[in-house]
A and B are shown apart, each in its own frame.
Chain A
Amino acid sequence: MRALLFLLVSAILLLLTACGTSTHVDEYRVSETRLPVKASEKIVIMGRRHAGEYETEPDFIDCIGNKLVTGGQVAVMPEQQFLDSLYPWFEPRTAPLGLKRMGGMMRDPLIATRIRKLGIRYMIWVDGNTETTEKNGGFSCGLAPGGGGCFGFASWDKNSNYEAIIWDLSKLDEKGRVKVDSKGSSYLLAIGAPIPFIAQVQGEACEGIGTRLQSFFSSASQSRE
């Protein structure tokens, strides 16, 4: 009995260690100096949604925004608020894919004035998604008059791949890029009750990209210190 218990605990511990996530973050900076953000200025983080096969998840964009607000002491405008304020210029069909097009849009006083009024200094474009790359195993559940239960084992791998590009709208140039690649395996062990071991792949990617983006900016209060 003890041996069985030991085996079960060992299996769970093994799974817990195996369901960890590996995250790799790369960055490119145009300059070593931090990007200044005045108290009246804001950053907007936008997801790329022009490709048919995938869309950068809005909740991932929110996650990065929260990371920047809590850690970097910079103001971040919610993506939907920006999209609505500049409708229809940043919809999936119309959003500028490069700085050249963005420059063309900023030459229109209607758009430039609205962006200035909103106080947007930096625009961060995030492109990528999280996908399930492999699924194995399976489990089944049953219900009988005496009770019910599940039995089986399932595993799946997830891969998050994102790139963030920072545009300075006052100078219309690129200030840097951050790329994150996060991988992890999740397991579901069912002996009676299903016990999930979920790898937080997207959460880790958000943590990685958000922390790195924080280090790009210096708020007005930080500059004074």
Chain B
Amino acid sequence: MMPMNKNPATRLVSSLLLLTIVLLSGCSTNVTVNGDYPSALTRKQPLHVGLVMDDQFSHYQFESTDDKQLPVTMALGESQVKLFSRVFADMFISTTTYNSPPAKNPALDLLIVPVVEEVQLATPFETKLNVYEVWIKYSLKVLDGNGQPIADWLMSSYGKTQSRFLKSDEEALNQATISALRDAGARLVLEFHRVPEVKRWLASRQADTQLSRSDIP
């Protein structure tokens, strides 16, 4: 074994550095969002949908860049994949998930590509209460089975820590983010079919179906 021949000054500097790193990591908040999302009470649209959740979406991690705040790292990719998969399975008769956009697939009626545009965070220091507030802005690119764009829907959701007696910052941030994701699910279920371009596409599709039915002698 090689003998350790560091001088006392080097050892002191190394120890101080290690201590600083330990203390700094103790000041930051790191959360892997972990939530369960209920099944949505809604009627399934008679559509075959492809849901594209690429690596950027499924491993999405938010890091606060505000110098005035304590550093916050929030991994919400896995949890948002869970939510989107659940909600889309409840909204449409069939949903297939993809890691990257598939080539033209006439078997699909719609292809939906969600992207996280922005995440904003209000910390207890800013809110002066023991609560976190989370805003998530999604962009949902909606394409038809041939890859032709139908709509680009910007959808934002909001969540807040509800209980003020949580044991840790991590738990409070987790609760606020789950609440924001639930809100995103609510907007998907209740507003997706009301997006003007989607509404028009659905109406024209319905008209086509009725027309083809009337052709049957």
Contacts and interface: CB of A to CB of B under 8 A. Distances in A.
A91 B163 CA distance: 16
Contact of B163 (A59, A83, A89): A59
Dominant secondary structure of chain B at its interface with chain A: loop
Given A91-B186, A94-B190, A85 B165 contact: no
A114 B41 contact: yes
B183 A59 contact: no
Contacts of B186: 87-88, 91, 93-94
A2 B201 CA distance: 88
A181 to B, nearest CB: 20
A110 B38 CA distance: 16
A150 interface: no
Given A88-B190, A91-B182, A93-B186, A57 B163 contact: yes
B46 to A, nearest CB: 16
A86 interface: yes
A89 B187 CA distance: 10
Contact of B42 (A59, A83, A84, A110): A110
B162 A57 contact: yes
Contacts of A91: 182-183, 186
B43 A110 contact: yes
Contact of A87 (B39, B164, B165): B39
B11 to A, nearest CB: 27
Interface of A: 49, 55, 57-59, 83-89, 91-94, 110-111, 114
